[in-house]
A and B are shown apart, each in its own frame.
Chain A
Amino acid sequence: MIPFPKRHIFLFFILTMGVCLLIACTPNTPEPEAAAPNTLATSIRLHNWQDDMPQAIFDKFTEETGIQIELITYESQDEAIANLRNSEIYDVVVLNNEYVAVAIAEDRLMPLDYTLLTDFRNISPNFRDLAYDPQNQYSIPYNWGTFGIVVNPEKVTTPITRWEDLWNEEFIGKLVIWNGKRTTVGIALKALGYSPNTEDVGQLAQARSQLMALRPSVVAFVGASADMVTWLTTGDGAVAMGYVGDIFAAQAEGFTFDYILPEEGTLLWGDNFIIPKNSPNSYTAHVFVNFLLQPENAATILEYNYYSSPNEGVAELVSDELRNDSLIFPPNDVLQKASLLLALPVAVETRYTEIWQSFVEGTNP
């Protein structure tokens, strides 16, 4: 056998390189660009009502994730939207339906990433894909509630089942009304069988007449539950257009009021979580919102603020007492024909304002 020349090793090396070249010729799949890593922030800013969420829920979140919640409270939805318009920095804001629509229209909200919001499935179909936010692209339902007739049973004996009943002569000088343009005009429309969000000029004209007819009944316009309770107990008032919260306020003072959801359909309000477009920690904000979507956390909140939750998993987690409380868990049948208050075009909104002002002043223009 011939001794193997050293150069052959070199040749085999070339050969191997050639084979490698062949392999290298195979089509190369473009490597995916590494997505920006989602890193958790150390703290996020929540903009919400005062006394809406218990500290325990923040503590639990901090314990689970190490993320601190910085709560910045507001007094009204107007204040919240104003802060958003001023480009204040928040990561999660609680906004009600009407303002969600406004903020969407003003392009202030971040589209939500549902891959991070897998617990959205706990939200009742009742609150999914509603008119103010198609496909829930920007908002997650948080709280909701009804608007109904608050009755002091000690002063009223005739049964009340409809909005219409408030127009009875019996209640002249006995009706207490919240300072609320959309709710008041909306109730007039509901009493007429119309949508509380109508843009129909004729329906609005009828609503104005309807309201003017109600004007003699009004004894007071109130801005707080405590005032209403006072008017209904020690004042001249006997019935009111009010919220579930008013009943709880009365209970706190030792009074038991009745709460009636009228047959024409109630008005619904809803609060939602949104993530502002300028949130610097949107990933962490998603994590927080998804945390709040978990039934046990929603239940903790409900047990604190008594607002109805759109979370379907809550009912079986709360105490029997709460679960059986029809104020917190209103039965479905009484909610049929309920209407959400929706944002209106500016021109229509102006018309509502005019009606409301006429009503408050008690004069026809």
Chain B
Amino acid sequence: MTQVTSALPKTTISLRRVVTLVQAIGFLVILLVISLGVYLFIFNAEQTLWQSRQSDFAQTAARLVSDNLEQSALFLDIINELDDSEQFASIVNNIASKYPTIQEVIVLDSDANILAISSTDAPVLSNLFTIQQSNWFLSAKAGNRYLGNLQFSSQNTPYIIISRPLNRANGAIAIRLNMEILNEVVRGIRFGTTGNAYLADSDGQILAHSDFSIVERNTSIGGRQELADALNQSGVNFSAYFNFLGQEVIGSSLQIAGTNWYVFTEVEQEEAYATSGNALIFLGGGLILLFITAILFTINFLQRLVFSRIEKLQVAATQVTAGNLNVQVPIRRMDEIGVLTNAFNIMTTTLHKNTEELLTARDEAIIGKELAQENNRLKSEFLSTMSHELRTPLNAIEGFTGIMLGGMGVDLDMKAKGMVERISTNSKRLIDLVNDFLDISRIESGRMDLVDVPFSPSDLADKWRRQLGVLAEQKDLLFIINVDPALPARLLGDDDALSKIGQNLLSNAFKFTEQGRVMLDLKREGDNWQIIVSDTGIGVPSHAHDYIFDEFRQVDGSSTRRYGGTGLGLAIVQKLVRLMGGTVRLESELGEGSTFTVTLPIKSIETQAITGVLTL
């Protein structure tokens, strides 16, 4: 079976593959669109959620920081409102102790003389001998509020100096704000696992961060995009970026009212987009599984419904081609393929029946043919034997009548001589007839062997003129012989057979011509040569052209008696010509004469050489 299948042309465009490809692409597009849609939906929802969370946290952080600053500002305002009194210093001290973020307070008059001081740790401001040149004092003295930038003491304690004018003395009130507390505030702002917040001023210096070492290192986000965005926007500002620690985050920023401070909240993108990331993995995995399942299912389905049935038909057709007509394909269901299968089955059944009949007829024909051939052979053999056996007594008759007519042995009177002459004539005819029979039967029984010997066409023509010229003289006919000079000087052929052909054709011509001429042409016709015998005799009616070459046929029955001959001449000619690989053709017009053209292949090893000589 495999062998047979492989002999069939392979499908170059597999239907199964086309169908599979088309539906796979279709599935893929649909699944991709669906999953992309779902993913984007989750992603957007997640982003919105984180934005609102960040917004909340940023605002919370800003409010907490702002509260601290406002408390400090409020404290400064309260001190400013206090009257000058003996208890001023102790009142200041008393109020200051209620504000945990305030580490030190100093109240100064316009000449930087100290009006009140209070501190919860080692004083810094109170010990300064450069107050008069310090910007926090000069600003306040000039009537402005002052918010200094982040400072570190040599003990690494972060602080910020805030000051405002002391109205009544044209002086200043300044506080040292504990930034560690703000760091604590910021550290407390956490959301999710990685969400955190930090505080930076407009120069980018980080003022507070959950990781204090970042603050301690004077870390600055100056020049970074998130700072530029924060400075350029009002309200909460969202963006995705790599933060100063190199983390990929989504962040928000918000300015703290009344300051150049900005709170930043950041959450790592890995966390922020965890849900959509997981969704992507599950969607992707599910999508692949669904895709594989769908493809396999449809392939299997199509295989069972269509392709395996087509394959069975194909296999059956292959078997039919290989000759096994006794094939029936089972019909599973009567759909389109079922109908096709049914038609196929009917076709093979019909083919089978017809082929059986044909084979029977062929066998009969073969047997008949063999029988006929054998019969024919037996007939020829019989004829041959018969002719031979006939010729022996006929030769005796001929011999003895010849002796008698020669006057040897006996004296015959005129009457007896006449009878002996008739015996002789008839026995000669009988011998001719028997000879012709012998020829025919030899040819037909396949025992006629042709021997190619070299001969000269002009010698052949001469020979025939000598043998048959007498017939022309008897009937006073013109006998014209032409030999084509283009013919090779020597040809190969069977001398005996050629003589028979020439004699038969020429004797026929003379026989059926009463006046006029008989013409013999030997000519070259390409690679062949021709013997053309034409006469001006009675001609052959067109209906006789078909059977003129058959044995025992002359134009009509009367001609035998009138013209003599055995009626085997043309049959012998034709058989010999065929045996020599040539053809014989008749052109004739009733009453106008006949032309027999024998065309034979030139067989001459010298042909080329001679042609070459001639060409020279």
Contacts and interface: CB of A to CB of B under 8 A. Distances in A.
B218 A125 contact: no
A206 to B, nearest CB: 17
Contacts of A195: 132
A122 B240 CA distance: 38
Interface string A121-135: 110111111111011
A121 B218 CA distance: 10
B3 interface: no
A335 B132 CA distance: 12
A22 B280 contact: yes
Contacts of B583: none
Of B24, B241, B242, most A-chain CB atoms within 10 Å:
B24
A244 to B, nearest CB: 16
Contacts of B129: 126, 332, 335-338
A15 interface: yes
B218 A114 contact: yes
Contact of A115 (B151, B161, B218): B218
A121 B153 CA distance: 6
A8 B295 contact: yes
Contacts of A113: 220
B135 A131 contact: yes
A38 interface: no
Contacts of B156: 121
B32 A22 contact: yes
A333 to B, nearest CB: 9
Nearest to B285: A19
B287 A19 contact: yes
Contact of A11 (B28, B35, B300): B28
A30 interface: yes
A129 B24 contact: no
Interface in B20-42: 20-21, 24-25, 28, 32, 35-36, 39-40
Of A118, A126, A127, most B-chain CB atoms within 10 Å:
A126
Contacts of B300: 2
Contact of A129 (B124, B135, B248): B135
Contact of B295 (A11, A27, A132): A11
A338 B220 CA distance: 34
A114 B220 contact: yes
Interface in B191-249: 205, 216-220, 224-225, 240-242, 248
A22 B133 contact: no
B299 interface: yes
Contacts of B32: 18, 21-22
B146 to A, nearest CB: 10
A14 B287 CA distance: 13
B124 A125 contact: yes
Interface string B154-195: 101000010000000000000000000000000000000000
Interface string B133-155: 11110100000000011011110
A18 to B, nearest CB: 5
Interface in B26-75: 28, 32, 35-36, 39-40, 43
B135 A31 contact: no
B148 A15 contact: no
B88 interface: no
Contacts of B36: 22, 25
B273 interface: yes
A332 B154 contact: no
Contacts, number: 131
B291 interface: yes
A363 interface: no
Nearest to A27: B240
B154 A131 contact: no
Of A121, A135, A337, most B-chain CB atoms within 10 Å:
A121
B319 interface: no
Contacts of A335: 129
B283 to A, nearest CB: 8
A134 B135 contact: yes
A27 B40 CA distance: 10
A118 B28 contact: no
B280 A131 contact: no
A196 to B, nearest CB: 10
A23 B241 contact: no
B93 interface: no
A340 interface: yes
A56 B21 CA distance: 82
Given A7-B20, A15-B28, A130 B133 contact: yes
Contacts of B219: 115
A71 interface: no
A11 B24 contact: yes
A221 B6 CA distance: 124
A15 B219 CA distance: 46
Contacts of A132: 133
A23 B17 contact: no
Contact of A7 (B21, B154, B217): B21
Interface in B267-285: 269, 273, 276, 280, 283-284
Contacts of A332: 127, 129
Contacts of A313: 154
A305 B32 CA distance: 78
A126 B284 contact: no
A319 interface: no
Of A15, A25, A313, most B-chain CB atoms within 10 Å:
A15
A78 interface: no
Nearest to B303: A2
B151 A122 contact: no
A30 B226 CA distance: 12
Interface in A182-217: 195
B7 interface: no
Interface string A301-340: 0000000000011000000000000000000100111111
A345 interface: no
A29 B242 contact: yes
B43 A26 contact: yes
Contact of A5 (B17, B152, B154, B205): B17
A338 B43 contact: no
B280 A23 contact: yes
A127 B130 contact: yes
A32 interface: yes
Nearest to A313: B154
A53 interface: no
B242 A14 contact: no
A18 B28 CA distance: 8
Given A15-B28, A121-B154, A131 B20 contact: no
Give the top 4 A-B pairs by smallest Cβ distance, nearest first.
A335-B129, A121-B152, A312-B154, A29-B240
17 contacts: A2-B303, A22-B280, A25-B40, A26-B273, A29-B242, A30-B242, A118-B218, A120-B152, A120-B218, A121-B153, A125-B124, A129-B149, A131-B133, A131-B135, A332-B127, A336-B129, A342-B133
Given A14-B25, A130-B135, A134-B135, 16 more contacts: A11-B21, A21-B32, A22-B32, A22-B35, A22-B36, A25-B40, A27-B240, A29-B269, A32-B225, A115-B219, A118-B216, A120-B152, A121-B151, A128-B151, A129-B135, A313-B154
